[in-house]
Amino acid sequence: MSEAHLVLADGTVFRGEAIGAAGAAVGEAVFTTGMTGYQEVLTDPSYCGQIVTMTAPQIGNTGVNAEDREALRPFLAGFVVHELARRTSSWRAQKTLEAYLAEHGIVGIEGIDTRALTRHIRDVGAQTAALGTEPPDALLAMARSAPPMEGRDLTGEVSTDRVYEWTEGLGRWGTSSARRAAPERHVVCVDLGVKYNILRCLVDAGCRVTVVPARTSADEILALAPDGIFLSNGPGDPEPVQDVIETVRALLGTKPIFGICLGHQLLALALGGRSYKLKFGHRGLNHPVKDLTTGRIEITTQNHGFAIDVASLEGKCRLTHIHLNDDTCMGLAHRDLDAFSVQFHPEAAAGPHDSRYLFERFVASMDRAA
Amino acid sequence: MPRRDDIQKILLIGSGPIVIGQACEFDYSGTQGAKALREEGYEVVLVNSNPATIMTDPQFADRTYIEPLVPRVLERILERERPDAVLPTLGGQTALNLALAMHDQGVLERLGVELIGAKVEAIRKAEERELFREAMKAIGLESFRARTVRTLDEAFEAAEAIGYPVILRPSLTMGGSGGGVANDRAEFERAIRWAFQQSPVHECLVEESALGWKEYELEVIRDAADNFAVICTIENFDPMGVHTGDSITVAPAMTLTDREYQRMRDAARAIITEIGVDTGGSNIQFAVNPDDGRLVVIEMNPRVSRSSALASKATGYPIAKIAAKLAVGYRLDELRNDITGTSSAFEPTIDYVVVKWPRFAFEKFGGSDPRLTTQMKSVGEAMAIGRTFKQAVQKAARSLETGRDGVVSLLDKIDYRELAAQIRRLKETGEGINLHRPIEARERATIEELREAILEVVQTPLADRLWYVADGLRLGLTVEELHEATRIDPWFLAELEEIVAVERDVAGDRDRPLSDAMLARCKELGFSDASLAALRGETAESIRERRGASIVPVYARVDTCAAEFEALTPYLYSTWGRESESKPTGRQKVMILGGGPNRIGQGIEFDYCCVHAAFALKELGYETLMVNCNPETVSTDYDTSDRLYFEPLSFEDVMAIVREERPVGVIVQFGGQTPLKLAVPLARAGVPILGTSADAIDRAEDRERFDEILGKLGLRRPRGGIANGVQDAFAVAERIGFPVVVRPSYVLGGRAMEIVHSKEDLAAYMDRALEAVDGAQAQTILVDEFLQDAIEVDVDAVCDGERVVIGGLMQHIEEAGVHSGDSAMVLPAHALPADVVAAIRSSTRALALELGVVGLMNVQFAVRGSAVYVIEVNPRASRTVPFISKSIGVSLAQVAAKVMAGKKLAELGYTREIVPRHFAVKESVFPFHKFAGVDTILGPEMRSTGEVMGLAETLPEAFLKALWASGSDLPAEGPVFVSVRDADKQAACDLAYRLREMGFTILATGGTAAALRRNGVEAERVNKVLEGTPHIVDRLRGGEVAMVINTTEGAKAIADSRSLRRETLLAGIPYFTTVAGAAAAVSAIEAMREGRLSVRSLQEYHCSAS
């Protein structure tokens, strides 16, 4: 086993052992606090450009299987764990996590004090970092020369390059009553790094789903005759994604729109709102959100480093959801138009299913518009 | 919805005495609940029969009733207090059942009292098996195939239809009482009778067995607005078939993918919603087929539970406190998380692994079946927190107080071939296993033989199975082989394999010094210095020196959030990493060492003392540091002391904290034997021990030094001597004359103490004793004169070095020979001559001053005629401290803690013994109904798990209450069976006469019947069992006996009457094995028949006490 280092741009060095692929990785160092779902984290395109630390200390226990992936391959830059399981135990496991990381060229490190790293990121804020078997000095130089997440449009790296139909539902993992009878609504999903489970949830909600590349124009989208338009999650800073923001602006008022995470931010920006970077973001499966419409609390999955300043949309949008820990904006609905969005992940994967009703809400808005 | 203003006064029901399946966790939840409700401005009335609890301290409620938890008494309290609401969900199954009884009897409705926390329909739906199964079906969840049965015929039909093996789950019992597994018809017949017996509604569920499946628990919470959160997931190390209370459990769940877990979470949410628990916590158990993931619901508890206490300690989320606030109307989002200051409506996430390991006491119950089944048998538990499972499991292993420094090898202690043979014998004939006998191997076993034996042994779940499995790995058995034999998840086995592999490296490399890297790696894997020392053939000191200042543990905080937010509460555990978060303050601090896992002889009483020490020292301005590893307790609530270190109570772990915190003093005298035995090593390491010196403790415990003191003070003790080995013991016994009391030195709870009547008895005892206690200490046996028919007296006192104040002087009800922890006691002493009492008081004073006690001291005396003997002196907190404190209205533990910190009794205003005007009776509670086949006769070895207190103006009434509280229901009429030894015949005649006067009839065996008739008491003669049928046991089985008085003498008579005692227990008939106990019972019956039943709160008693 070879020695590896994780070096933060501020010079903090963690020594550990290399796992996964050889080489070096550069990205923004973040942590996620979910205790389950490392495979979903690995394959979540929203982690593109990030070195992700799992705060749960023993990772890989259930191996990797084909069913639980959120994209065809991992997009994150590097993977940090306290201890990687050498032994896999699950009736669904197809390979070990170690083999999977190596196979997909993911550079990782284990054997570091992930709690100390997490506390550091929490206290200092997210920053760029480098990780790998190269000497710490070299890694530090890489970390310092890496571009900050602010100002980065990463949608091009994760979006599909062709239009395709998505037909897979949640299958045995869905609730039996979920799939609804006709009429089927046609949803065009603008892929900014979409997680498969969003598509599965849409299918289970009774939608025909067409996925289109991020740079598909409003006219092209409307030409597909959708009943509704979905703006997906994705990585990076929303602000530089100007062309998509323009597209969204053009689509406003034509069809019902629903956005999740980056999609939510782009919708807000299209409406003239402002985004800002959070100190270290929200990443985990235990974030309490209050639905201001019903007063109900949802435990949600979150994965974002940027948020929307709700004051910037005053008069245009209603705040529909807030985060109970820090009162940040978790959901918006346009006052007049059929457009709403949430910052968190109702599709979960990984995470609780408390917010699945939002897909129904989207379908209901399409029903109303039809 | 915010706080409900339509209710003002809330009655909180506790869980009563500590029993198997219901321990301190409900003191923890009840105390939290009471605190939370008062914080909200409610008037709190609290009822519990257990005086050793913190919750029954008068300061935690407006009115505190230490009264029996039985319907007729609770009804009186409700009538007297007229609360607006009753909260029954924090007091375990006892409180829930009692609340249901109040509802069913119409009392709640009549008095206009609302049940909060859980509705009656919800409780029934969750607890009654059939309703629960229907509910699960309604929401599309799978349950095991099962049938509820009420008759033997139904039962057999069900078992045959389902197919053996089947699981038995009696309705409305706790801790799986009466439950079990039956592999065939014969086993089923035994098991179903037992199950019916244990169910208060004579009902049992016969269920499809899923032995070997994975078992999980979810601790969940839900509010009235349908907000829901999972607080903790728990995975059982031991697969299905072992009660979760007896399983080693791990948090969080380690071998579930997110999809599988979320499916479980969805199911949990659907269940709690369907059952209708809308303001509180619940525990939901699931089984998962490891081969295809099939998810099956096992059961749900609609209340806080042992697991929720564990979940609270494991995550830092105070479930009971939140549940109490939800019960009065709050919603989750209206409450804050104390630890982070963020919302309470969230799911804790943790970045460490928690292991809970149950503690058993089979050695106390000879002849009991040590196999772990669906009926809980453990008496306590230890919890450990580590960064990995490996770290946590090793810490938990050394927290257990079984003399093992981690997951160490037992290969030189156990001959697995012998153990395998014993298990085979147990299965065939029911003969008990002697797990503790160190084996002198008959001949060296080959590795092959041992592997084979271990593979056989581990198929049967036993208390030490994890150790056996590790030994299997040591001998080269593979994870696959062991998984096949045990069905323990391969992931856990692989973790153990890693430990064993490193151990091999360490031991195999003895000639070379340990490298820094290797040492650090070992520490990360949880090895203690002592275990490394054993592997290396060195001393723990040399390993410690080798580590120096570079390889030392760091302390991380339990923060509910995996470090996402800064933790405001210093709840800490040690691990190995980069930085410590302990951030010690510069304040003056005192460290209090807790009592570790509950076991018989070391229970909640000591936790009570530790908690009070923390309160008292806080009051004096010290920062208090609590060290303990028992997740059930109030001491391990992060609220109790300023800083909580959740750590094993080993020398290494404690020293590491001392180094980190540098306290001005450490209190070792409050947590029972566990911390006390650290006194000398800590003192030697230069740690300041507060209060009584380690030397004084030694003077009291060392036989010869103690004899010197007695000589100097002119006090008497029973004649006796120290024996080294068997021959020596014979010599001492001959000199004194039989019967003699024998015991190993340095034990608590009368461990292995016995009264022996003959040389043969003594020889047999020596044989057993040598195996009962580990190490060289066992070689030293104390042999003492047995003071037959003496009365024992317990005294607790506080001394500041100059002044001694007696806290209480308690007279035992049973004669000498019954362990003081098992004996019923009366405060104040009710029947001792004034000169004897005076002699006891002056002896106590003299002893305290001579020993230089600073703090608490307990003395046990025996009185025969006017002669007073000192039996033993313990310069530490005793089991009776809380009982006395509740009786007299002064917290002795607080006074003592302040004295230990340098205060004088005069400064504290405690200078005079308070002799209460009322009577307080302490009665013990025994776990015999959990251990089929165990003799129930009381002796010098302590076997009770808990205690209750009866308080009243008169002694008979107080005793009556104590009996009721301990689960004994005295009859008002019917036949009483009397069979007594010769010495008791006269006394028995008096009792029988009084019973007849009240209209009872008397049944008696030959000798006793004749004696009764001679004294003019009419009695029907019945056969002893040996005299042939129809005999007394037949009569018992026929339900023809209302009460039993049976005293015996000598090994043979004791053995002969064993089936009688057993049957009496099974039938739930009150029985008395001492004539003194019987006399008290007869007085109690007289009181009961007169219809006197008054209830009164502690606050009222204490007002009028002095």
Contact (Cβ atoms closer than 8 angstroms) between residue B974 and residue B1042: yes
Q: Which of B705, B371, B748 is nearest to B595 (CA)?
A: B748
Q: Which of B346, B351, B565 minimises the CB distance to A114? A: B351
Position B750 scores a pLDDT of: 57
Q: Which CATH number fits the domain that encloses residue A10?
A: 3.50.30.20
Q: Which of B262, B332, B562 minimises the CB distance to A55? A: B562
Report yes or no on A16 lying in a domain: yes
Quote the minimal CA–CA distance from A99 to chain B in Å: 17
Give the strand pairing for A127-132 and A3-8: antiparallel
* Burial of B937 per CB tally in 10 Å (0-12, 13-18, 19+): middle
> What are A370's two structure tokens?
């039809």
A75 lies in the same domain as A180: no
Give the strand pairing for B589-593 and B623-628: parallel
Contact A92 B257 (CB under 8 A): yes
Given a cut of 60, whether residue A338 has pLDDT beyond it is yes
Residue B1092: phi and psi, rounded to 5, are -80, 120
> Using one digit for the tens of pLDDT, what is the confidence trace for B896-921?
999 999 999 999 999 999 999 999 99
Kindly list the residues from chain A whose CB atom is less than 8 angstroms away from the CB atom of residue B578. 14, 112-113, 116
Q: Which of B808, B844, B811 is nearest to B830 (CA)?
A: B811
Q: Which CATH number fits the domain that encloses residue A355?
A: 3.40.50.880
Kindly list the residues from chain A whose CB atom is less than 8 angstroms away from the CB atom of residue B579. 113, 116, 119
Position A132 scores a pLDDT of: 97
B1006-1014: Cβ within 8 A, 24+ apart:
B1007/B982, B1008/B978, B1008/B979, B1008/B980, B1011/B985, B1012/B978, B1012/B988
Given a cut of 80, whether residue B323 has pLDDT beyond it is yes
CA–CA–CA angle B289, B295, B297 (5° rounding): 115
> Using one digit for the tens of pLDDT, what is the confidence trace for B119-128?
999 999 998 8
Kindly list the residues from chain A whose CB atom is less than 8 angstroms away from the CB atom of residue B254. 58, 61
> Using one digit for the tens of pLDDT, what is the confidence trace for B49-91?
999 999 999 999 999 999 999 999 999 999 999 999 999 999 9
A166 lies in the same domain as A112: no
Quote the minimal CA–CA distance from A87 to chain B in Å: 6
* Last residue of one domain, picked from the residues A145, A174, A196: A145
Report yes or no on A12 lying in a domain: yes
Contact (Cβ atoms closer than 8 angstroms) between residue A36 and residue B257: yes
Contact A287 B252 (CB under 8 A): no
Cα B56 from chain centre: 18
Q: Is A334 considered catalytic here?
A: no
Report yes or no on A259 lying in a domain: yes
Contact B258 A83 (CB under 8 A): no
Give the strand pairing for B85-87 and B114-115: parallel
Integer Cα distance of B369 and B422 in angstroms: 12
Q: Is the peptide bond before B828 cis (omega within 30 degrees of 0)?
A: yes
A137 lies in the same domain as A185: no
Report yes or no on A33 lying in a domain: yes
A45 lies in the same domain as A105: yes
pLDDT-based confidence at residue B298 (cuts at 50, 70, 90): very high
Q: Is A261 considered catalytic here?
A: yes
Contact (Cβ atoms closer than 8 angstroms) between residue A310 and residue A267: no
Integer Cα distance of A290 and A296 in angstroms: 6
Catalytic residue among A5, A264, A304, A345: A345
Chain position carrying tokens 């309290």: B77
Kindly list the residues from chain B whose CB atom is less than 8 angstroms away from the CB atom of residue A58. 254, 353, 388-389
Residue B168: phi and psi, rounded to 5, are -110, 130
Section B357-375 average pLDDT: 87
Contact B333 A290 (CB under 8 A): yes
Kindly list the residues from chain A whose CB atom is less than 8 angstroms away from the CB atom of residue B291. 91
Position B776 scores a pLDDT of: 47
Hey, which residues 298-317 in chain A have their CB within 8 Å of chain B?
Answer: 299
A309 lies in the same domain as A342: yes
> Which of A87-101, B493-507, B759-773, B812-826 shows the lowest per-residue confidence on average (mean pLDDT)?
B759-773
> Residue A249: CB partners within 8 Å, gap ≥ 6?
A270, A271
Q: Which domain holds residue A267?
A: 155-369
pLDDT-based confidence at residue A125 (cuts at 50, 70, 90): very high
Section B993-1005 average pLDDT: 94
Integer Cα distance of A298 and A289 in angstroms: 5
A241 lies in the same domain as A134: no
Q: How far apart are the first and last CA of chain A?
A: 60
Section B951-975 average pLDDT: 93
> Using one digit for the tens of pLDDT, what is the confidence trace for B467-492?
999 999 999 999 999 999 999 999 99
Report yes or no on A123 lying in a domain: yes
A112 lies in the same domain as A199: no
Q: Which of A31, A115, A288 minimises the CB distance to B346? A: A288
Contact A116 B578 (CB under 8 A): yes
Q: How much of chain A exceeds pLDDT 90, in percent? A: 96
Q: Is A345 considered catalytic here?
A: yes
Contact A288 B345 (CB under 8 A): yes
Hey, which residues 365-404 in chain B have their CB within 8 Å of chain A?
Answer: 387-389
Report yes or no on A150 lying in a domain: no
Selection from B187-201, B672-686, B750-764, B1025-1039 with the highest mean pLDDT: B672-686
Full-model pTM: 0.95
**DSSP three-state, residue A20:** strand
Report yes or no on A68 lying in a domain: yes
| Cβ burial B274-302 (10 Å sphere, 16+ → b, else e) | bbbbbbbbbbbbbbbebeebebbbbbbbb
Contact B578 A14 (CB under 8 A): yes
* Last residue of one domain, picked from the residues A125, A145, A165: A145
> Using one digit for the tens of pLDDT, what is the confidence trace for B217-244?
999 999 999 999 999 999 999 999 999 9
A179 lies in the same domain as A137: no
> Which of B91-105, B152-166, B717-731 shows the lowest per-residue confidence on average (mean pLDDT)?
B717-731
> Residue B774: CB partners within 8 Å, gap ≥ 6?
B403
Integer Cα distance of B147 and B873 in angstroms: 56
A237 lies in the same domain as A135: no
* Last residue of one domain, picked from the residues A145, A172, A195: A145
Residue of chain A minimizing CA distance to B292 = A91
- Average model confidence (pLDDT) across chain B: 91
**DSSP three-state, residue B1027:** helix
- A296 at the B interface (CB within 8 A)? yes
Assess: ipTM above 0.95. Answer: yes
Section B446-469 average pLDDT: 96
A137 lies in the same domain as A159: no
Section B153-179 average pLDDT: 85
A342 lies in the same domain as A221: yes
DSSP A35-71: SS-HHHHHH-GGGBTEEEEESSSEE-TT-B-STT-SS
Hey, which residues 112-171 in chain A have their CB within 8 Å of chain B?
Answer: 112-116, 118-119, 122
Kindly list the residues from chain A whose CB atom is less than 8 angstroms away from the CB atom of residue B266. 175, 353
Q: Which of A89, A175, A288 minimises the CB distance to B489? A: A89
> What are B905's two structure tokens?
């009794």
Q: How much of chain B exceeds pLDDT 90, in percent? A: 72
B804-815 β-sheet, strand order: B867-874, B854-864, B791-800, B804-815, B825-827, B919-925, B946-952
Number of domains observed in the structure of chain A: 2
Catalytic residue among A189, A261, A317, A329: A261
Contact A115 B556 (CB under 8 A): yes
Torsion angle in degrees (nearest 10) through CA of B75, B81, B86, B88? -60
Choose the mutation target among A6, A13, A14, A35 for the interface with B, i.e. most B CBs under 10 Å.
A35
> Using one digit for the tens of pLDDT, what is the confidence trace for A1-36?
799 999 999 999 999 999 999 999 999 999 999 999
- A95 at the B interface (CB within 8 A)? no
- Number of Cβ within 10 Å of residue B780's Cβ equals 17
Q: Which of B656, B657, B648, B683 is nearest to B669 (CA)?
A: B683
Choose the mutation target among B564, B576, B579 for the interface with A, i.e. most A CBs under 10 Å.
B564
Q: Which of A36, A87, A288 minimises the CB distance to B261? A: A36
A30 lies in the same domain as A128: yes
Q: Which of B834, B844, B919 is nearest to B883 (CA)?
A: B919
pLDDT-based confidence at residue B31 (cuts at 50, 70, 90): very high
